Amino acid sequence: MRSCVALVVCVAALTAWTVSADAKELFITTIKEEPYVMSKGSDLEGYCVDLLSELSKKLGFKYKLHLVKDNRYGALDASGAWTGMIGEIVRGEADLAVAPLTITAVREQFVDMTTPFMQTGIGFILRKDLSSEGSAFSLLSPFSTETWVGILIAFLLTGLCIFLVGRISPTEWAEPDTEVHNFTLLHSFWYIAGALTLQGAGPHPKALSGRLVSAIWWLFAVMLLACYFGNFNSMLHSNHKHVSIQTFEDLANQDLIDYGTVEGGSTTLFFKNSNNPVYRRIYQHMERKKSYVSNMKEGLRRTQEGNFAFIGEAVSLDLVVARFCQITRSQEVIGMRAYSIAAPSGSPLVKNLTVAILQLSESGELSYLRDKWWASSCEGGASDNPSDALHPHDLRGLFLLLGLGLAVGLLLALLELLSRARNQAKDSKKSCCSVLTTELNRRFGSRGESSEQDGSDKNKA
């Protein structure tokens, strides 16, 4: 019986509030911050705008949304007055504050806040090159993986080309039946490996075609080594102040990278009131360096410029990481907190808004809004860093030069063999094609005319 009476009372209260809400248009304050509230022409859009729209449908109220005048969330100033959205609620200038507004003990003393619509914590963002740890394969870092694969392919092709030129060119191998072929496949690879390390590995080619291929490979090796050591030196100089920052303790224990948070926000109060010595050192550093920023946009800009770590709400930082690929967020999240809607103390709106938020959470609507506005779309990858590894397109001219040299070398070797075949054809009065075919058979494993001669000698015997 008591439960029925309580239910009737709640329904009556909700109905009475709905009727009064219909008669009165609510003034709601918010703050522009991506993706919670953003401009779209003359209108506003974002997570909080959609959330407010869903709440108004459930509770049946009309509202007028405006941006907070001083672009602040809300903090006590030196005179004890509230600034930002909390100040507008306290002074009666707004009925609700719908924004990524953190629940704090100080704010709860002056305004009422609903159940959280989003859970978060405190993290920090910085450039990936400042957070990455040293790699055991740092010697390979001047070139990208694709470039190393291209160099390996170029090495194999050049070794094979030297081997073919040594076999085809009559200047290099005049009498296949009697002479030993110096440029075997193994020696060809050993020869170009010696050239790649600026060391000699004889014997050297004698034919014009072989010398051309060797010269092109030497030029390729010298320019490749110059690119490697130049980029490696650039990386060493650009990272001479490199430190690996993974946690807040790493951040507090170094002075090479500056860091800060939004001035006067709840994150600043967290570090100010914390008894943790690491967090206290972070607050003292921000106070000493005056490294605060006016808003998150400025914090992101300074982070992208380098040598700065921006401390803020983890859920907002996740959006930055989803949009900018060269930025990373710390895995450590401290000071777990939540976002809520603020209303004047004693307001009848709070209870009904709390129930509506819980209903949206249970139906999955809050998760849908999170996925909608936090979709990943990276802008400006890590290739913007001038000290990044060289990619194949950076060395395409060098690879094209090598490919052209190998092709010309093989063509010269074939012309040398063709010239010899023509001379032999004139002397023996045979066709040039048959002599050329016989020469190729002798040089690539077939016995050619020697096999036929051996067979005729056996028949005569």
d(CA 283, CA 254): 14
Q: Which amino acid type is present at position 328?
A: T
Q: Which residues make up each annotated binding site for L-glutamate?
A: 100, 102, 107, 266-267, 313
Of 449, 398, 354, 440, residue with least CA distance to 150: 398
Paired tokens of 138: 């740092």
d(CA 352, CA 17): 9
Of 380, 394, 390, 315, residue with least CA distance to 127: 380
Q: Are 393 and 404 in contact (CB under 8 A)?
A: no
Residue 103 CB neighbour total at 10 angstroms: 16
Q: Are 51 and 372 in contact (CB under 8 A)?
A: no
Cβ neighbors of 259 (< 8 A, separation 6 or more) are 124, 251, 282, 285, 286, 291, 308, 309, 310, 311
Q: Which residues make up each annotated binding site?
A: 100, 102, 107, 266-267, 313
